[in-house]
Structure 1
């Protein structure tokens, strides 16, 4: 998954870079390449990246439950001492 994300990011960056390069010669094609790169970044790469980073984590660790609040209070008391 890591290598897929890296390769996909390089392809997206290349598309945006190519769009800026060709924009001086052909405005319509350049803006299209930039637009496709930005859309791919936010609708393809970003969800894959978020999934990759959060797939082995537990959401209960990040929720404010009574147990987690008690742990935070105990940790705060230990720091004061």
Structure 2
């Protein structure tokens, strides 16, 4: 998954750079390359990256529930006591 994400990012950046280099010769084709590169970054690479990074993590730990609020409050109280 990591290598697929890297490949998509490199291909997208390559398409964007190529689009900017041919912009003077063929504006319509340049805009297509720039657009497909941007779509590749934000609709392919970013979700692939987020899936690979969040694999095996509990979403409950990152949600703002009363239990997590109490944990955060107790941690801030401990830090203030140490100082």
Matched, 1:70 2:70: yes
Please list the CA deviations of residues 25-69 of structure 1 after superposition, one character each: whole Å capped at 9, or x if unmatched: 111111111111111211111111111111221111112223212
- Tell me the residue number matched to 2:43: 43
**8 A contact 2:8–2:44 mirrored in 1:** no
- What RMSD over aligned residues (CA atoms) do the two structures have, in Å? 1.2
Distance 2:52 2:33 in 1: 26
Runs of 4 or more, structure 1, over 6 Å off, are none
Distance 2:21 2:72 in 1: 52
TM-score (norm 1): 0.89
Report the secondary structure of 1:23's partner residue: coil
Structure 2: gaps (5+ residues) = none
Size of the alignment, in residue pairs? 81
Q: Which is further off, 12-21 or 46-55?
A: 46-55
Matched, 1:14 2:47: no
- Tell me the residue number matched to 1:54: 54
TM-score (norm 2): 0.87
Distance 1:21 1:72 in 2: 51
Structure 1: gaps (5+ residues) = none
